[in-house]
Structure 1
Amino acid sequence: MTRAPGPKGSLLWGSLGAFKADSLGFLAQAAQDHGDVVRLRFGPITAHLVNHPALVEQVLSRNAANYDKATRSADRIAATTGRSLLSADQTAWARHRRLIQPAFQPRAFDGIGPVLDDLIAPMFVRWDKAGKIDIVDEMMQLVIAAAIRILFSSSIDPQRINAPLEILLADTWRRIEAPLDASLLSPRLHRPAFKKAVAQIDAIVLDLIQTRRASVQRPDDVLTRLLDAHAAEGEAQLTDQELRDAAMTLLLAGHETTANALSWAFIHASGTIQAADPAHIFAEAIRLYPSIWIIERRALQADTIGGFDIPRGSSVLISPFLLHRRADFWPDPTRFDPARFADGTPRPRDAYLPFGLGQHRCVGLHLANKIAAHVIGRVFAEFDLRALPGQTPHTDPGITLRHAQPFWMSVSRS
Structure 2
Amino acid sequence: MKRAPGPNGNLIWGSLSEFKADSLGFLSDAVRDHGDIVRLRFGPVTAHLVNCPAHVEHVLSRNAANYDKNTRSAGRIAATTGDSLLSGNHNAWKRHRRLIQPVFQPRCFDDIGTVIDTLVDPMLARWKNAGTIDIVDEMMQLVIAVAIKVLFSSDIDPQRINLALETVLADTWRRIEAPVDASMLSARFHRSQFKSAVATIDDIVIDLIQSRRKTCKRPDDVLTRLLAAHELEGEAGLTDQELRDAAVTLLLAGHETTANALSWAFIHASNGFDSADPANIFAEAIRLYPSIWVIERRAIQSDKIGGFHIPSGSSVLISPYLLHRHDGYWPDPERFDPSRFDGDRPRARHAYLPFGLGKHRCVGLYLANTIATKIIERVFAQFCLTLCPGQLLETQPGITLRHMAPVRMQVETRYKKHL
Tell me the amino acid that sits aligned with residue 199 of structure 1: A
Which secondary structure does the structure 2 equivalent of 1:124 belong to? helix
Partner of 1:17: 17
Partner of 2:173: 173
Partner of 2:123: 123
Partner of 2:63: 63
Tell me the amino acid that sits aligned with residue 91 of structure 2: T
Is 1:271–1:384's contact at 8 Å kept on the other side of the alignment?
no
- Give runs of aligned pairs for residues 104-253 of structure 1, distance below 5 A: 104-253=104-253
Partner of 1:306: 306
Residue 130 of structure 1, CA deviation: 1.1
Is 1:70–1:298's contact at 8 Å kept on the other side of the alignment?
yes
Residue 176 of structure 1, CA deviation: 0.2
Which secondary structure does the structure 1 equivalent of 2:129 belong to? helix
Partner of 2:265: 265
Partner of 2:80: 80
Partner of 1:333: 333
Tell me the amino acid that sits aligned with residue 99 of structure 1: L
CA distance in 1 between counterparts of 2:271 and 2:53 reads: 33
Partner of 1:28: 28
- Tell which deviates more after alignment, 11-20 or 388-397: 388-397
CA distance in 2 between counterparts of 1:148 and 1:239 reads: 21
Tell me the amino acid that sits aligned with residue 116 of structure 2: L
CA distance in 2 between counterparts of 1:284 and 1:233 reads: 38
Tell me the amino acid that sits aligned with residue 217 of structure 2: Q
Partner of 1:381: 381
CA distance in 1 between counterparts of 2:397 and 2:90 reads: 27
CA distance in 2 between counterparts of 1:265 and 1:353 reads: 17
CA distance in 1 between counterparts of 2:180 and 2:199 reads: 24
Partner of 2:353: 353
Partner of 1:390: 390
Is 1:279–1:373's contact at 8 Å kept on the other side of the alignment?
yes
Over the matched positions of the two proteins, sequence identity in percent amounts to 73
CA distance in 2 between counterparts of 1:131 and 1:308 reads: 56
Which secondary structure does the structure 2 equivalent of 1:169 belong to? helix
Deviations along 1:318-362, one digit per CA (max 9) or x if unpaired, are: 000000001110000000000000111111100000000000000
Which secondary structure does the structure 1 equivalent of 2:149 belong to? helix
Deviations along 1:69-118, one digit per CA (max 9) or x if unpaired, are: 00000000000111100111111000100000001001111210111111
Partner of 2:417: none
Runs of 4 or more consecutive aligned structure 1 residues displaced over 3 Å after TM superposition? none
CA distance in 1 between counterparts of 2:392 and 2:276 reads: 23
Which secondary structure does the structure 1 equivalent of 2:279 belong to? helix
Which secondary structure does the structure 1 equivalent of 2:290 belong to? coil
Partner of 2:364: 364
Tell me the amino acid that sits aligned with residue 267 of structure 1: I
CA distance in 2 between counterparts of 1:33 and 1:238 reads: 49
Is 1:74–1:86's contact at 8 Å kept on the other side of the alignment?
yes
Is 1:302–1:311's contact at 8 Å kept on the other side of the alignment?
yes
CA distance in 2 between counterparts of 1:181 and 1:77 reads: 14
Partner of 1:52: 52
Tell me the amino acid that sits aligned with residue 178 of structure 1: A
Partner of 2:7: 7
Residue 234 of structure 1, CA deviation: 1.3
Which secondary structure does the structure 2 equivalent of 1:129 belong to? coil
CA distance in 2 between counterparts of 1:272 and 1:343 reads: 21
For the pair 1:98 / 2:98, whether they are aligned, the reply is yes
CA distance in 2 between counterparts of 1:235 and 1:31 reads: 47
Tell me the amino acid that sits aligned with residue 395 of structure 1: T
CA distance in 1 between counterparts of 2:109 and 2:408 reads: 31
Which secondary structure does the structure 1 equivalent of 2:309 belong to? strand
Taking structure 2 as the reference length, the TM-score comes to: 0.98
Residue 271 of structure 1, CA deviation: 4.0
Residue 272 of structure 1, CA deviation: 2.1
Deviations along 1:239-276, one digit per CA (max 9) or x if unpaired, are: 00000000000000110000000000000001420100
Residue 392 of structure 1, CA deviation: 2.6
CA distance in 1 between counterparts of 2:58 and 2:144 reads: 35
Deviations along 1:158-200, one digit per CA (max 9) or x if unpaired, are: 0110011110000000000000021021110000010000001
Q: Which runs of 5+ in 1 are unaligned?
A: none
CA distance in 1 between counterparts of 2:213 and 2:347 reads: 46
For the pair 1:411 / 2:418, whether they are aligned, the reply is no
Partner of 1:42: 42
Taking structure 1 as the reference length, the TM-score comes to: 0.99
CA distance in 1 between counterparts of 2:327 and 2:302 reads: 31
Residue 233 of structure 1, CA deviation: 1.0
Deviations along 1:195-219, one digit per CA (max 9) or x if unpaired, are: 0000011000000000111111111
Partner of 1:279: 279
Tell me the amino acid that sits aligned with residue 107 of structure 1: R
CA distance in 2 between counterparts of 1:201 and 1:101 reads: 23
Tell me the amino acid that sits aligned with residue 286 of structure 2: I
Tell me the amino acid that sits aligned with residue 212 of structure 2: R
